[in-house]
Amino acid sequence: MDFLFKFPDMGRDNLRDFKKDVDTSFLEFSGEYGEAIEKAFDPLLYFLVWFEKLLINTPWPIILLLIGALAWFGSRSIKISIGSVLSLSLIGYLGMWQDTMSTLAIVSAATFLCIVIGIPLGIWMARSNRVQAIITPILDVMQTIPAFVYLIPVVMLLGIGKAPGLLATCIYAIPPIVRLTNLGIRLVSKDALEAADAFGANYWQKLFGVQIPLALPNIFAGMNQTIMMALSMVVIASMIGVAGLGIPVLRSISNQYLALGLLNGLAIVALAIIFDRITQAYGKRLQKHRYGEHND
Amino acid sequence: MTDIAVSIKGLYKIFGKNPKKALSRIKQGMSKQDLLEKHNHVLGLNDINIEIPEKQISVIMGLSGSGKSTLIRHINRLMEPTAGEVIIGGENVVEMSKNQIRDLRLHKASMVFQKFGLHVHRTISENVAYGLIVQGMKSDEAKKKSHKWLVRVGLEGFEDHYPSQLSGGMQQRVGLARALATDADILLMDEAFSALDPLIRFDMQNILLELQEELHKTIIFITHDLDEALRIGDQIAILRDGEVIQQGDPQQIILKPNDDYIIDFIKDINRGRVIMAKSLAEKGRKNQGPSVNFKTVLEDVLPIIAKSKSQKVNVVDDQDKFIGVLNLESVIDAMARPNIEVSETYR
């Protein structure tokens, strides 16, 4: 009867050996290639450091003006532009300017990286069912696996600092843009594509002239989600040494500083709302043709 | 005789996992039903042989599922045939390389679609210029060049609108202008007017006929609407279950249908408005009675014959040259519905 109540596991010794094997082999791998991989991330790191310094060293009125202008060109809405400038000013007034600039830097860099990798990946997925069948489960894992779990190998490989932080943020934030690029391109109407074919369009003419423009609303929704997810990684990234609004939040958890945690948390929320409103309004403006008089 | 622009020979299309094997079964005499039930392959086109004359409107007619849309897509090879040839200008489209196919689609054959196939993210003028832009023309030049077609289909002033702002009829005029703008000799029209309501459809047929008088394109027009086929077709091929069951001059199809299916098809048309004097004219001597042009439809011949004392009219061509005689009896015979069984209750 004992057999039924104790699951026949592989035994404590075997299990320990198994874990040890995995650990040592990964350690060996990281010892051998860690440096090379770290080197590969160097350009990214330089860019990130340069961008962060740029944001911090630029006089604050110019940054405010730039954000206001960006909001205006993105959304063409006075309300969104003024709201963005006001909320950033409030963040600065509450003493979080420098941390906010650091966060802005890593989120921008992560978003940029996700777009550069994610959109081509999504296009590739849309072209082939086999590629889709392989990548979809990987994206599922990336989205559901607890972030702390993949922080372990990332830190083992790259140590702590900005580069592993960026990598971890990208792992977490890239799935939506890949998924929605794939979906958007697959949803492009067969009729529009057939017409392009019938007029002799080649692969690139179809991709850039028909598929991407018609998938743009979905691609934009993916970009928006990617930015939001990158922002939500800020606190976790700060655990491995990424400067920004996450650090004070982490400090307030360990010391029970309610006000500090709340203020920095709200600053993250404010950034998220600013990004979200600008990109959404821009996405909507891109598809002005969808709001015609005859919508049938 | 006019020259042949497109010649389709022994064309087969079978949908399924192993079409080649299914083809040999069909050639050994297996029926379409058996092929579907026993081997799960669909016979889409079955040994199609059609010659499309140059500079005329050739209509391919059939009900849904008859394979007509599949057939037209083989002409510019939007679909790959299982076997057969499609000859355009001496070249076999089926054996063309990718680049040759592209050249065919860019310069020789353009297409109009049932659901318009417009690009909703482009303005009307960008849509009309699309074929030229794909050819590699600069956007400004392409718009300028395509502008005359936009005007020609009556859409001047809508250049900067988007397709979603236009009604269905207007959208299809954009589709037509886009197809004409590339100056291709062959125009493939896949149920181009079927999605439009009857009045607009009538308008579009008029636009097409007017344009054709000027342009003399080789038009291959797919439709399921017999009235449309009779109205615009210089010749008609009728398709059923992937097979051509009759092809020829529209008059001939109405007067001498060679199949029950076709009889069923044509029984409800207004024969008096379709059949022309030339089709019924008999050899004979010119009489004293009045004359009618050979293209006059029976409906218009009837009152003239009724007034004529001899109950006969002379049929003459456009140069007033005598072709034959037409008598009242044959007019009435031709206008009666063929082989219609009157049910007992009405007898």
| Phi/psi at B277 (5° precision) | -55, -40
At which residue do the structure tokens 């109407």 appear? Answer: A189
Residues in chain A within 8 Å Cβ distance of B115: 191
Nearest CA distance, A210 vs chain B (angstrom)? 7
- CA distances from residue A189 to A129, A165, A200, A246 in whole angstroms, order as listed: 18, 40, 17, 43
At which residue do the structure tokens 């050739």 appear? Answer: B58
CA–CA gap between residue B256 and residue B265 (Å, rounded): 13
pLDDT band of B1, cuts 50, 70, 90: low
Tell me which fold the domain B272-335 belongs to. CBS-domain (3.10.580)
Query: Which tokens sit at A276?
Result: 């979200």
- 8 Å CB contact of B111 and A192: no
B227-237 confidence digits (pLDDT tens): 899 999 999 99
**Residue A90 has what pLDDT?**
95
Number of H helices, E strands in chain B: 15, 13
CA–CA gap between residue B146 and residue B152 (Å, rounded): 10
CA–CA gap between residue B168 and residue B116 (Å, rounded): 9
Sites in chain A below the pLDDT cut of 70: 289-296
B152-167 confidence digits (pLDDT tens): 999 999 999 999 999 9
Nearest CA distance, A100 vs chain B (angstrom)? 38
| Residue of chain A whose Cα is closest to the Cα of B101 | A200
| Phi/psi at B43 (5° precision) | -85, 105
Exposed / middle / buried, residue A80 (Cβ in 10 Å: 0-12, 13-18, 19+): buried
CA–CA gap between residue B222 and residue B190 (Å, rounded): 5
In this predicted structure, the answer to whether residue B342 has a pLDDT above a threshold of 50 is no
CA–CA gap between residue A103 and residue A96 (Å, rounded): 11
Across the range B221-229, mean pLDDT stands at: 92
**Residue A291 has what pLDDT?**
54
Give the number of other CB atoms < 10 A from CB of residue B49: 14
User: Quick one: which of B309, B293, B321, B324 has its CA closest to B301?
Assistant: B293
- Report whether B44 contacts B67 (CB < 8 A): yes
Name A170's Cβ contacts closer than 8 Å, sequence gap at least 6.
Answer: A110, A113, A114, A117, A230
pLDDT band of B339, cuts 50, 70, 90: low
**Residue A19 has what pLDDT?**
93
- 8 Å CB contact of B164 and A191: no
CA–CA gap between residue B13 and residue B302 (Å, rounded): 47
**Residue B117 has what pLDDT?**
93
**Residue A3 has what pLDDT?**
82
**Residue A125 DSSP SS3:** helix
| Residue of chain A whose Cα is closest to the Cα of B114 | A191
Q: What is the ipTM of this complex?
A: 0.85
Query: Which of the 8 DSSP states describes residue B242?
Result: T
**Residue B308 has what pLDDT?**
83
β-strand pairing of B312-316 with B322-327 = antiparallel
Domain boundaries for CATH 3.40.50.300 within chain B: 52-83+94-269
Cα–chain center distance at B172: 17
Query: Which tokens sit at A97?
Result: 């300017």
- Report whether B200 contacts B171 (CB < 8 A): no
In this predicted structure, the answer to whether residue B340 has a pLDDT above a threshold of 70 is no
Tell me which fold the domain A45-290 belongs to. MetI-like fold (1.10.3720)
Query: What CATH class does B52-83+94-269 carry?
Result: alpha beta
Domain boundaries for CATH 3.10.580.10 within chain B: 272-335
Nearest CA distance, B1 vs chain A (angstrom)? 30
Identify the weakest region by mean pLDDT among A285-289, B123-127, B261-265.
A285-289
Does residue B111 belong to the interface with chain A, where contact is any CB pair within 8 Å?
Answer: yes
β-strand pairing of B291-293 with B42-53 = unpaired
**Residue B321 has what pLDDT?**
86
- 8 Å CB contact of B164 and A196: no
pLDDT band of B52, cuts 50, 70, 90: very high
β-strand pairing of B42-53 with B322-327 = unpaired
- 8 Å CB contact of B164 and A210: no
Supply the DSSP string of B116-160, one letter for each residue. Answer: ----TTS-HHHHHTHHHHHHT--HHHHHHHHHHHHHHTT-TT-TT
Does residue A291 belong to the interface with chain B, where contact is any CB pair within 8 Å?
Answer: yes
- Out of B103, B113, B164, whose CB is closest to A191? B113
Question: Between residues 190 and 229 of chain A, which touch chain B (CB distance below 8 Å)?
Answer: 191-192, 194-202, 205, 209-210, 213-214, 216
- 8 Å CB contact of A198 and B106: no
Query: Which of the 8 DSSP states describes residue A290?
Result: G
- Report whether B135 contacts B110 (CB < 8 A): no
- Out of B115, B130, B165, whose CB is closest to A199? B130
At which residue do the structure tokens 């989600």 appear? Answer: A225
Domain boundaries, chain A: 1-40, 45-290
Contacts A–B by Cβ distance under 8 A: 82
CA–CA gap between residue B335 and residue B332 (Å, rounded): 5
**Residue B137 has what pLDDT?**
93
**Residue B293 has what pLDDT?**
87
Does residue B118 belong to the interface with chain A, where contact is any CB pair within 8 Å?
Answer: yes
pLDDT band of B274, cuts 50, 70, 90: confident
In this predicted structure, the answer to whether residue B346 has a pLDDT above a threshold of 70 is no
- 8 Å CB contact of B134 and A205: yes
Supply the DSSP string of B267-311, one letter for each residue. Answer: TTS-GGGT-BHHHH-B-----SS-EEETT-BHHHHHHHHHHSTTS
Q: List the Cα angle B53/B252/B234 in 5-degree steps.
A: 30
- 8 Å CB contact of A289 and B117: no
- Out of A198, A210, A294, whose CB is closest to B164? A294
Residues in chain B within 8 Å Cβ distance of A202: 102
pTM summary value: 0.83
Does residue B40 belong to the interface with chain A, where contact is any CB pair within 8 Å?
Answer: no
